[in-house]
Amino acid sequence: MMLPPATQRRRLLAPLVAALMLGLPLAGQADTAFTYDIPAIAPEVSSESEEKPGWATERFAVAAANPLATDAGYQVLKAGGSAIDAAIAVQMVLNLVEPQSSGIGGGAFLVHFDGEEVATFDGREAAPAAVDGGLFLDEEGEPLAFLDAAASGLSVGVPGTLRMLEMAHKQHGVLPWSELFAPAIRLAEDGFMVSPRLAESLAGEERLRDDPQAGPFYYPDGEPLEAGATLRNPALAEILRQVAEGGSSALHTGAVAHDLVLRVQGHAERPGTLTREDLAGYEAKQRAPLCTPWQAYVLCGFPPPSSGHLTVMQILGILEALPEVEAPMVDGVPSEAWLHTFLEAARLAFADRGRFIGDPAFVDAPGGDWSSMLAPDYLAKRAELVDEQSLGSGGAKPGNPGELATAWGQHPLQPEYGTSHISIVDEQGNALAMTTTIEQAFGSRIMADGGTGLPGGYLLNNELTDFSFTPEDAEGRPIANRVEAGKRPRSSMSPTLVFARDGEQRGDLVASLGSPGGAAIIHYTAKSLVAMLDWGLDAQEALDLPHAITLGGPVYLEQGRFPAATLEGLAERGHEVSERELVSGLQAIQVVGEGFFGGADPRREGVVMGD
């Protein structure tokens, strides 16, 4: 485990540690196998881009977006817990310390490997039974402004994270479910230090302060909490106690569910329709993973309702079908020539994504099988559209994988934000990649206290804004990802496990990775995979590389990270280029020899720990 030296850590945290009675087990947990100690680490990293060292471990490793969350997973693994046990502890602490990104009010996708089989668990939010394609249209039939739709009761989908974790824990858990909530409960009761990133998110957020529960909690005296402030969350501690004892039903039924429904239906401006029946009826799903051969590897990821794996693998497949770029990296950053082919591949892949992908319970795969979108001869045909000059903004049109009979309309472009990624490998040979979200930063900006009447609580997602706001396109064709009752919105989340390729078979585990970042998750993941698997960079070097994205229109390069000549060269090739912040939150763990090497995104507060 590589952290600041113990003496330095103690110095940084002396006041917190003294205040927190370090090392006392939780009441009622003294006889159990796992007892949680509040760690001698703090979110001392700044919210500015921070150089990360990369972390070598021998037996197990956990990577998450906040040091306290990573540490909770580390303590679970050290106590003999499995990867899924650790993921539960990490997720609950993330809910507390990185509330803007994920939690029990949201949804998640988990790719799990138990040493033999790969399984995918779907905890994506579902649309309530009473909604239809007009959910985000105003009286005139025009789509609502994005933020108005997001910060409302309309956008709240039935949460799925807890049901999903419970399903995976039943199959792969080692430690008792109830023990895995101890870190989050303890930190919620005793208090934790607000991290720079949370403080910055609170300061930059306009609508959260209007929420009757979140306003006074995160903006005491009207001012946002500052980094380093100690925050307790008694309502969340109480809710998690109930979940620890009663399982996911403590959220989906009873008083906590009742409170959730009241808050959604009671939203002052735009109430939603979510009911107790919607909550009680939610089920996590185990789906067949998509495992796709690429070069010397097999990459396993999430099928629809995520567009992640299909779009990542379309990009990688198109790149593979094109002649190899001679110098993909120049002076430590991706070259103009490589970026051009990458961006053209992304244009083509996003055109298909916008046409074909939606919840498979509602949308048939092209040709009856999603793998039609990844067929090598189809991608080779798509690669023929890549030329010296860019297809330009809006120039890439969808193809026709699987000779699709139904004519879907094209999905309009909409923003997505927020989210967190967790990668874990345990000592028993399990590995997982889990991306978890409440969609935007602070989700629907509705905080629920579970009916406890205590300060704090958890935030409800705005995942339904991942549906198309308009049910049909300008030609009147239905959009695959339109709102429908009970449907799960299309996602970009791309949790990925990489394996060696043994012929067409899956061999040993090579890596686990994923990222937040809205639709750009796909670019961040695809480029990091190329960097690690094709260019031979280690996990940290790969995550450090600057980003370039396009959803089919303008190209955005990460602010200040590429030479001016690259911007000019891409513009000459017909890309509409500008620079902006591109705040990924990648986490990756690679298998290296007998051990592991983990990387965390320099753009966020994540760290890796392990022994």
The least CB distance from residue 490 to ligand GLU, in Å, is 8
Which of 307, 470 has the CB closer to ligand GLU?
A: 307
Instruction: Among 166, 211, 352, 416, indicate the residue that binds ligand GLU (CB under 6 A).
Output: 416
Q: Any contact of residue 181 with ligand GLU (CB under 6 A)?
A: no
* Interface pattern 348-367 for ligand GLU (x via CB under 6 A): --------------------
Task: List binders of ligand GLU among 280-299 (CB under 6 A).
Answer: none
Which of 54, 517 has the CB closer to ligand GLU?
A: 517
Q: Which stretch, 128-136, 196-204, 349-357, 411-419, contacts ligand GLU (CB under 6 A)?
A: 411-419
Closest CB to ligand GLU: residue number: 419
Distances in whole angstroms, Cα of residue 189 to Cα of each of 96, 219, 247, 292, 350: 11, 19, 20, 45, 45
Q: Any contact of residue 419 with ligand GLU (CB under 6 A)?
A: yes
Residue 133 CB coordination number (10 Å):
18
The least CB distance from residue 438 to ligand GLU, in Å, is 8
The least CB distance from residue 92 to ligand GLU, in Å, is 19
Catalytic entry in 57, 419, 435, 436: 419
Which of 71, 466 has the CB closer to ligand GLU?
A: 466
DSSP state of 304: T
Rounded distance between C-alpha atoms, residue 18 and residue 11, angstroms: 11
Which of 120, 341 has the CB closer to ligand GLU?
A: 120
Q: What are the φ and ψ backbone dihedral angles of 598, each rounded to 5 degrees?
A: -110, 150
Residue 66 has, within 13 A of its CA and on its CB side, a CA count of 30
Residue 419 annotated to the active site: yes
Cβ pair 485, 158 in contact under 8 A: no
Given phi > 0 = left and psi -120 to 50 = alpha, else beta, which region is 418? left
Which of 164, 404 has the CB closer to ligand GLU?
A: 164
Residue 194 has, within 13 A of its CA and on its CB side, a CA count of 20
The least CB distance from residue 373 to ligand GLU, in Å, is 18
Q: Which stretch, 114-122, 147-155, 380-388, 415-423, contacts ligand GLU (CB under 6 A)?
A: 415-423
Instruction: Among 439, 449, 538, 605, indicate the residue that binds ligand GLU (CB under 6 A).
Output: 439
Task: List binders of ligand GLU among 214-253 (CB under 6 A).
Answer: none
Cβ pair 517, 378 in contact under 8 A: no
Rounded distance between C-alpha atoms, residue 103 and residue 47, angstroms: 21
Partners of 495 in the β-ladder: none
Rounded distance between C-alpha atoms, residue 506 and residue 298, angstroms: 6
The least CB distance from residue 101 to ligand GLU, in Å, is 8
Angle at 28 between CA 230 and CA 104, to 5 degrees: 55
Residues 267/271/277/280 CA torsion (nearest 10 deg): -50
Q: Which amino acid is at 299?
A: L
Which of 10, 580 has the CB closer to ligand GLU?
A: 580
Cβ pair 366, 408 in contact under 8 A: no
Which of 415, 507 has the CB closer to ligand GLU?
A: 415
Instruction: Among 39, 272, 334, 418, indicate the residue that binds ligand GLU (CB under 6 A).
Output: 418
Which of 401, 517 has the CB closer to ligand GLU?
A: 517
The least CB distance from residue 530 to ligand GLU, in Å, is 20
Instruction: Among 437, 452, 525, 550, indicate the residue that binds ligand GLU (CB under 6 A).
Output: 437
In DSSP notation, 22-42 reads: TTPPPTT-TTSS------S--
Q: Which amino acid is at 263?
A: R
The least CB distance from residue 193 to ligand GLU, in Å, is 25
Cβ pair 570, 577 in contact under 8 A: yes
Rounded distance between C-alpha atoms, residue 525 and residue 515, angstroms: 7
Q: Which stretch, 34-42, 44-52, 166-174, 417-425, contacts ligand GLU (CB under 6 A)?
A: 417-425
Burial call 45-61: b when 16+ CB within 10 Å, e when fewer: bebeebebebbbbeebb
Task: List binders of ligand GLU among 460-499 (CB under 6 A).
Answer: 463, 466, 491-493
Task: List binders of ligand GLU among 76-105 (CB under 6 A).
Answer: none
Instruction: Among 60, 181, 297, 417, indicate the residue that binds ligand GLU (CB under 6 A).
Output: 417
Cβ pair 458, 99 in contact under 8 A: yes
401: nearest Cα among 359, 344, 348, 343:
348
The least CB distance from residue 336 to ligand GLU, in Å, is 28
* Interface pattern 503-542 for ligand GLU (x via CB under 6 A): -------------xxx--x---------------------
Catalytically active residues are 419
* Site of interaction with ligand GLU (CB under 6 A): 416-419, 437, 439, 463, 466, 491-493, 516-518, 521
